[in-house]
């Protein structure tokens, strides 16, 4: 039971706080109980984890803190992946004139950008479709062999973390890159039109044209960015062993 409780501090935050699991309509209590049940399954699958070396209270508190740090690192990795998609979507919203409009996500009960929410749910669907959750379970199981319960894990180097952040943000901007380019060309066309016919209200015209253009190019952007969504999930899963 002690091994299960310690391991749950590593596993449960992933399912309770990290997207794409937080994007599903499941209660937080269920995700917490699911994480504890998964911890019990991993402990039974890896008998070596059942032995906790230090049973002193101070040693257990230190072991619990180390397990929480490991779980927080996994959560942070997935949060960075989806934060990159939200930033790309927010950039697209501002360019299209939706800078002041935000959605209330009914699942997370938070405000989110319009295009960023669509990108995040698309990335979550691709993550589950490519069996990313199964790969994550394999990584959690392998982490028990690489980092036993209660052992100190080394913090990732800044260079490795910076490389991961730059990779996910570059890939996320590639997801919205086609739509951003189309809106930029529309801005150029409206700017040229304002020079030739200054009597037009280009501000109102620009909002209408770019809104219609955004709804036209977004389906094409999703269709062409399928490989980028897969790559984004793959980058995150491959970076996890080096960041733990």
Extract the tokens encoding 226. 């399928």
Is residue 42 pLDDT above 90, yes or no?
Answer: no
Which of the four pLDDT bands, split at 50, 70 and 90, describes residue 200? low
Neighbouring C-beta atoms of residue 179, cutoff 10 Å: 26
**pLDDT for the residue numbered 134:** 92
- Report whether 94 contacts 38 (CB < 8 A): no
Least trusted range by pLDDT, from 6-20, 63-77, 147-161, 172-186: 147-161
Least trusted range by pLDDT, from 19-23, 96-100, 215-219: 96-100
Is residue 203 pLDDT above 80, yes or no?
Answer: no
Is residue 230 pLDDT above 90, yes or no?
Answer: yes
Is residue 153 pLDDT above 70, yes or no?
Answer: no
Least trusted range by pLDDT, from 3-7, 15-19, 101-105: 101-105
Percent of the chain residues topping a pLDDT of 90? 25
SS3 label, residue 104: strand
The most distant pair of C-alpha atoms in the chain lies apart, rounded to whole Å, by 80
pTM, two decimal places = 0.84
**pLDDT for the residue numbered 84:** 93
DSSP string, 3-56: HHHHHHHHHHHHHHHSTTGGGSS--HHHHHHHHHHHHHHHHHH-GGGG--S--S
Chain centre to alpha carbon of residue 8 = 21
Tell me the average pLDDT across 218-231: 88
Percent of the chain residues topping a pLDDT of 70? 86
Which residues lie below 8 Å from residue 103, measured CB to CB, with a gap of 6+? 111, 112, 113, 114, 117
**pLDDT for the residue numbered 130:** 92
Domain map (residue ranges) of the chain:
2-243
Neighbouring C-beta atoms of residue 172, cutoff 10 Å: 28
Q: In the block, which residue shows the tokens 């209590």?
A: 29
Q: Which H or E run contains 197?
A: none
């Amino acid at each position: 039971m002690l091994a299960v409780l310690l391991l749950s501090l590593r596993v449960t935050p992933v399912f309770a706080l990290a997207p794409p699991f937080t994007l599903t309509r499941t209660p937080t209590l269920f995700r917490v109980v699911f994480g504890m049940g998964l911890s019990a399954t991993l402990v039974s699958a890896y008998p070596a984890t059942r032995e906790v070396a230090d049973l002193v209270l101070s040693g257990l508190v230190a072991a619990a803190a180390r397990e929480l740090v490991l779980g927080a690192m996994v959560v942070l990795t997935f949060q960075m992946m989806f934060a990159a998609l939200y930033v790309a979507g927010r950039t697209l919203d501002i360019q299209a004139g939706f800078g002041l409009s935000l959605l209330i996500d009914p699942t997370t009960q938070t405000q989110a950008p319009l295009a960023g929410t669509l990108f995040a749910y698309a990335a979550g669907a691709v993550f589950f479709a490519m069996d990313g959750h199964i790969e994550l379970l394999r990584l959690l199981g392998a982490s028990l062999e690489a980092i036993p319960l209660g052992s100190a894990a080394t913090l990732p180097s800044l260079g490795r973390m910076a490389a991961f952040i730059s990779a996910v943000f570059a890939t996320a901007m590639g997801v919205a890159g086609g739509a951003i380019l189309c809106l930029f060309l529309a801005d150029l066309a409206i700017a040229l039109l304002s020079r030739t016919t200054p009597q037009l209200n280009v501000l109102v015209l620009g909002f209408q044209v770019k809104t219609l253009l955004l709804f036209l190019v977004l389906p094409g952007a999703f269709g062409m960015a399928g490989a980028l969504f897969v790559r984004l999930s793959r980058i995150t899963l491959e970076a996890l062993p080096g960041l733990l």
